[in-house]
Amino acid sequence: MGLVRVVSQSSESLPRAFFDRPSLEVARDLLGRDVVHREVVVRLTEVEAYAGPDDPASHAYRGVTPRNAVMFGPPGFLYVYFSYGVHWCANVVCGPDGFASAVLLRAGAVVSGLDVARSRRVTARNDAELARGPGRLTSALGLRREHDGADLCRDGAAVRLTAGDPVPDSSVSSGPRVGLTKGVEAPWRLWVTGDATVSPYRPGGRRTGGSPP
DNA sequence: CCATTGATCGTCT
DNA sequence: GACGATCAATGGT
């Protein structure tokens, strides 16, 4: 032969059992994995875990609603929601059916489909910005409301999570989740240390409106 | 580099 | 009627 064997990119979906665990464990193991939708592939560099019904920052904290219903279903499904009237954000549902927990996909590196990703993210100043942030990542992948509830594990799934290139513990950092007003203290944001595609930290809290007359 | 602000609308109170 | 699991543009240091 004489050909060096390169890291093979299996396009096989991670099994549902992968997601049927506590969201913090899933979050840790999602770093370095690939999110695939059509021609674009994003390798995850930053994620956030949202735990069960006791996590005040979780969309599921106040029970089932039409928006968060997918979170209460079985693991391995996509929960996509509309944020700030502008952006879509994508989560992977974790844990057993009926237990609402998820991992927010916050950032990654585009490793395939660069041309398409660039065309969807015309404001990005460089390729590291294409999927740097949850709204940007979702935009680069072309995910929208129609992907809410998508099954990631079914054969032939349109959106998949694949093996990618898992990162060692020595490359994983953790800290507080971004942009929250509740549950700020839990260090459930995980990222690949030093990676250029990791989003900047931004504290939460709503800006106070102007003084009324 | 950092801090501030407008946009924009679905969701829940 | 207020509030976001955000982004991009702007202006200052």
pLDDT exceeds 50 at position A213: no
Amino acid occupying residue A184: V
| Nucleotide with smallest C1' distance to residue A183 CA | C5
Q: Residue A30: how many CB atoms within 10 A of its CB? A: 28
- With H, G, I as helix, E, B as strand and everything else as coil, classify residue A141: helix
pLDDT exceeds 50 at position A186: yes
pLDDT reported for residue A9: 57
pLDDT reported for residue A208: 54
pLDDT exceeds 80 at position A4: no
A199 CB below 7 A from strand C atoms: yes
A129 CB below 7 A from strand C atoms: yes
Amino acid occupying residue A71: M
* pLDDT above 70: percentage of residues in chain A: 92
Tell me how far apart the alpha carbons of residues A96 and A74 are, in angstroms, rounded to a whole number: 6
Burial environment of residue A17 by CB neighbours within 10 A (0 to 12, 13 to 18, 19 or more): exposed
Q: Chain-centre distance of CA A125, in angstroms?
A: 22
pLDDT exceeds 80 at position A195: yes
A121 CB below 7 A from strand C atoms: yes
In which region does residue A205 sit, left (phi positive, over 0), alpha (psi from -120 to 50) or beta (all else)?
left
**A104 strand-pairing partners:** A48, A91
Distance, Å, A3 CA → C6 C1': 45
B/e letters for A160-189, b = 16+ CB within 10 Å, e = fewer, are bbbbbeebeeeeeeeebbbbbeebeebebb
Which tops the pLDDT comparison, A203 or A131?
A131
Among A122, A117, A120, A88, residue whose Cα is nearest residue A105:
A88
Residue A204 contacts residue A48 (beta carbons within 8 Å): no
Q: What is the pLDDT of residues A24-34, one digit of tens each?
A: 999 999 999 99
Distance, Å, A201 CA → C6 C1': 12
Q: What's the average model confidence in pLDDT over A91-114?
A: 98
Q: What is the pLDDT of residues A174-183, one digit of tens each?
A: 999 999 999 9
Q: What is the pTM of this model?
A: 0.94
Q: What is the pLDDT of residues A109-122, one digit of tens each?
A: 999 999 999 999 99
Tell me how far apart the alpha carbons of residues A100 and A64 are, in angstroms, rounded to a whole number: 9
Check residue A14 and report its DSSP letter.
P
Distance, Å, A34 CA → C1 C1': 41
Distance, Å, A3 CA → B7 C1': 53
Tell me how far apart the alpha carbons of residues A97 and A211 are, in angstroms, rounded to a whole number: 47
Tell me how far apart the alpha carbons of residues A78 and A145 are, in angstroms, rounded to a whole number: 10
Name the pLDDT band for A8 (thresholds 50, 70, 90): low
Residue A88 contacts residue A145 (beta carbons within 8 Å): yes
A68 CB below 7 A from strand B atoms: yes
For chain A, the distance separating the N- and C-terminal CA atoms, rounded to the nearest angstrom, is: 79
Q: What's the average model confidence in pLDDT over A69-96?
A: 98
Strand C positions with any atom < 7 Å from protein CB? 3-9
Amino acid occupying residue A180: L
